[in-house]
Amino acid sequence: MARRVVVTGLGLVTPVGLTVSETWTNLLAGKSGAGPITKFDPARFQVRFACEVKGFDPLGYMDRKEAKRMDLFCQFAMAASHQAITEAGLEGKFPVPDRTGVIIGSGIGGMMTFEEQCLIYLQKGPDRVSPFFVPMFIPDIAAGHVSIRYGLKGPNLCTVSACSSSAHAIGESYEIIKSGLADCMVSGGAEAAITGITIAGFQNMKALSTRNDAPEEASRPFDSGRDGFVLGDGGAAIVLESLDHALARGAKILGEVVGYGMSADANHITAPAPDGDGARRAMLACLADGGLDPKDVGYVNAHGTSTPLGDIAETTAVKAVFGEHARKLIVASTKSMTGHLLGGAGALEFVASLLVVQTGKIPPTINQVTPDPQCDLDCAPNRMVEREVGLALSNSFGFGGHNVTLAVRKFAT
């Protein structure tokens, strides 16, 4: 018999906050995390803004030596995991380490390290490349570091599926616990890809917004004036446990994961299926996995990247899945404030979905000035909405056609 899977800890490091509470407060307030790029001189670039994490100090989570040997994406993952593990009451005392695992996704991994070391190699030669280059750059190292820090000896891996990476991480962790292969999992994702080469690549494929004069207004999902996404950095983590495991140790249960659906577009390396077919099938698979009635869903955290094609495809998919009930949903995008965290986006947005279910408060989609008539669902434009939501979905769709939907609901015995 499949086991129930619950959430007992949350952690966030985002462009709008360094903790869960700070991020949540700013999301509800409609605060944008976008601003001029400070990590490098963007003067030569067409796009000169992003959603950077502000004020993050890794020394709050590790010593200076450890920090120097971790790429920023890994530092974000460690910080978010520490927050989640601490909230779950498990720091230093996981009951059965052999039955506790880690899956942390990243779409790109240590891009800052990669860029820095490539320059050293080209300018100074191979002997000057850091011996820590490989273990700082590889995307799976975040899961490895969390495992090492907390002595977790169960399933340990990294999911890499572009913008769906951390949604896959949570979904696979859910499946591992549900099937009995582990009792507890630390799961999530992280990205730190605001670098020159990444911005250059995305801008040259015309994926990014170019509103340099008004960065805070650039991410505008479902608006007629949208012109691309805004790149963001950060990390998100959750602690998942089997219900029996959580109850046995008296854990506070924050919510329950009740569905996981996946699909492929099989359409294009970057563009979604125009009719939203892949997104539609992921949502249907998620609902079927949990035996869920679509009419019980009250909120969808949209992938909602603020791209011309993506927002229309997702709206079309939601209508196909929910029919008339789609008009009763709020289908909102927190990316309007956080930007797009790539491999970290799915975990951040799952946390936001859980908090909607927990609090009955729905963050707005900011910057919707002129709604796109093809994106005509309620996205809570420019306003926080208070509404009881018993069941929420979180969508993540990645380059390559990777689609994931997760379902979370209020916990009830």
- Sign of torsion over alpha carbons 168, 172, 174, 175: positive
The vertex-155 CA angle with 150 and 157, nearest 5°, equals: 90
156: nearest Cα among 148, 147, 165: 147
18: nearest Cα among 56, 66, 60: 56
The yes-or-no answer on residue 163 being catalytic is yes
Given 74, 158, 163, 379, which residue is catalytic?
163
CA distance 264 to 272: 10
Given 74, 303, 375, 402, which residue is catalytic?
303
Residue 74's H or E segment, with its range, is helix 72-87
The yes-or-no answer on residue 340 being catalytic is yes
Given 51, 340, 375, 379, which residue is catalytic?
340
| Helices 308-322 and 277-290, packing angle to 10 deg | 40
Going by the DSSP 8-state scheme, the letter that residue 294 receives in this structure is G
Q: Is 210 exposed, middle or buried (0-12, 13-18, 19+ CB in 10 A)?
A: middle
DSSP symbols for 48-73: -EEB---S--GGGTS-HHHHHTS-HH
| Helices 196-204 and 111-124, packing angle to 10 deg | 110
The vertex-342 CA angle with 69 and 29, nearest 5°, equals: 105
Contact 256, 6 (CB under 8 A): yes
Residues annotated as catalytic are: 163, 303, 340
